Structure 1
Amino acid sequence: MVGQDIQITDKHGRSHQVDVYYQFEKAGITHKVAIECKDCGRPIDNGQVAQFFGKLSNAGSIQKVMVSRLGYQKLAREIAEDNDVLLLTIDDLPKLNELLAERLKTVALPDETTVGEPFWTIMEKREGRVTGSFFAHPHPSTKRPEMLLFYSKEHAKRAFKEASLNPKEWCVRGMPQYVFRSFLIQLELAEMRGFGASVLFAPPGALKHKPFIAVSASREDLIAEYYDGDVPSIRATI
């Protein structure tokens, strides 16, 4: 969906104009982008950047982009960086899709502030960013490799430590529903290859040296009990 001179309503019911707005869905995630176009006869100052991100600060998760013919003042760039506003010039426009794609990677993947809904897990990390792949470990009884889920961040951190994982290559992350959806899609492929998933937990107050209780969980059961929505099937495309 693409529109020009669009009014966006924030959570307080206030309406705000943006020059260009577009919205699309990828991997089940809706991405929203608002673009402000400036041709003021001079580089954009920090006040104009602050006004732009300020009017959309209560409008939900929207990627904010400014385009200026004559560039930006130094403080304007600092304000934009602190508030996740992407600043572009006319020369950047031919590669706008590439620039936004890089930003959207960080939107679609969890960071250290993401909270589990309800699970936490261990994910692969490369050059400081998660790759979207999940750590797997042999089940203590069946020895089948299984991707791990935890109800507690502290339990995930404990398992990370016990597995002696390299923090440059792996990290603990919360799983909001959109990340859990990605996990479930990958789990279908894993099950087709003889892998699986386990929920690891320890009772409240359990001694630290006691092993986790590991319960194997099928994709079907995880969807039925923990995911609110539809998950596409890989089998339907094979």
Structure 2
Amino acid sequence: MSNGKELEEYVRNTYQFLLNMKDEGLNVEKDKKLVGKSGAVHQIDVYYEFVFGNRIHHVAIECKDYSSAVDKGRVQEFALKLQDIGNISGEMVSANGYQSGAKKIAEHYDINLKTINDLPTMPHLLGMRLSSVALPDESYKAEPFWTIMELRNDKVTGSYFGHTQDGRKFIPLFFSKYHALMYFQESNLDTKSWGIRGLPRHALRAFILMLDLLKRQSVEPMIMFRPPGDTSNSGFAGFVTDRKLLAKEYYCGEVPEPVTDSV
């Protein structure tokens, strides 16, 4: 970093990325002005707020792009600023670490100290984004689909279960987790190799975008349906769909069209 403003922008962009892994819409601001209890106006290098447990939480980040380690005086100044503002958490990011006295002051005032090396790099951020958005875990609820995904060491790999019918390949989608489980059991799938996962809105969007690649492999999505309470051996009814209908009728939002080569 060549100056403090570049460090502030770097920190802001990193936190903006981290806090919006699932398109939460959180805004991370730079050079925020907050009025303290004393009436003084305090400048905050990077600021964001979020809602958790029905409360709004405020976070201020101080950026120090010094050629040497940050001393305790700088941390004390930040601590006093936070105390005057009130109801706010503090973090500090330093380009060249902290002196031992600074660390003691930070611990006393519950200020989280970080260095540039503590912030994830862009390749790491992109990997986290992929894992967060495209690869649903067991806690995800369907909006509205459930599907079956490949597992490795109890984590999804990004590959979807598919079946072949009349020479065509399909990825089954279910409105009910119960029906997904029925299909899972009827297909005699190994629980160590496959798992049922819900597709929340952001994961459904990633799935729709992935269909552009799968189309080249002649793979299509199929919505599986079974009447409520059906215990017969008639199996599931399957309805083939496509990315446009999924986006329009189930995602109910804009999904970028695939890029095609111009003729």
Under TM normalisation by the shorter chain, which class is it? 0.5 to 0.7
Superposed displacement of residue 93, structure 1 = 3.6
Residue 47 of structure 2 aligns to which amino acid in structure 1? Q
Q: Name the CA distance, whole Å, in 2 between partners of 1:145 and 1:46.
A: 61
CA pair 18-128 structure 1, distance change in 2 beyond 3 A: farther
Q: Show the counterpart of 2:91.
A: 36
Given that 1:148 and 1:199 are in contact with CA atoms closer than 8 Å, whether structure 2 keeps it comes out as yes
Residue 91 of structure 2 aligns to which amino acid in structure 1? E
For structure 1, the 5+ residue unaligned runs are: 22-33, 53-65, 69-89
Matches within 5 A, 1:118-133: 118-133=144-159
CA pair 99-37 structure 1, distance change in 2 beyond 3 A: farther
Q: Show the counterpart of 2:237.
A: 213
Q: Show the counterpart of 1:60.
A: none
Q: Name the CA distance, whole Å, in 2 between partners of 1:35 and 1:231.
A: 37
Q: Deviations over 1:123-172 (max 9, x none)?
A: 12223321222111123xx3411011000011111212222222222211
Q: Show the counterpart of 1:58.
A: none
**Identity of paired residues, percent?**
29
Normalised TM-score (structure 1): 0.64
Given that 2:106 and 2:113 are in contact with CA atoms closer than 8 Å, whether structure 1 keeps it comes out as no
Q: Name the CA distance, whole Å, in 1 between partners of 2:117 and 2:124.
A: 9
Matches within 5 A, 1:1-238: 2=13, 3=30, 5-11=45-51, 14=56, 16-19=58-61, 36-37=91-92, 40-42=102-104, 48=110, 67-68=113-114, 90=115, 92-93=117-118, 96-97=121-122, 100-101=125-126, 103-108=128-133, 109-139=135-165, 142-207=166-231, 209-236=233-260
Q: Per the alignment, in what secondary structure is the counterpart of residue 208 of structure 2?
A: helix
Given that 2:103 and 2:113 are in contact with CA atoms closer than 8 Å, whether structure 1 keeps it comes out as no
For structure 2, the 5+ residue unaligned runs are: 1-11, 14-29, 32-44, 64-88
Q: Per the alignment, in what secondary structure is the counterpart of residue 236 of structure 1?
A: coil
CA pair 114-143 structure 1, distance change in 2 beyond 3 A: same
Superposed displacement of residue 119, structure 1 = 0.5
CA RMSD of aligned residues (A): 3.5
Given that 1:189 and 1:234 are in contact with CA atoms closer than 8 Å, whether structure 2 keeps it comes out as no
Q: Name the CA distance, whole Å, in 2 between partners of 1:135 and 1:46.
A: 52
The count of aligned residue pairs is: 187
Normalised TM-score (structure 2): 0.58
Q: Show the counterpart of 2:9.
A: none
Superposed displacement of residue 41, structure 1 = 2.6
Given that 1:19 and 1:35 are in contact with CA atoms closer than 8 Å, whether structure 2 keeps it comes out as yes
Q: Deviations over 1:165-209 (max 9, x none)?
A: 222222111001221112212223333332211111111110064
Q: Name the CA distance, whole Å, in 1 between partners of 2:213 and 2:146.
A: 20
Structure whose alpha-carbon radius of gyration is higher: 2
Q: Which runs of 4+ in 1 moved over 3 A?
A: 1-4, 9-15, 42-48, 90-106
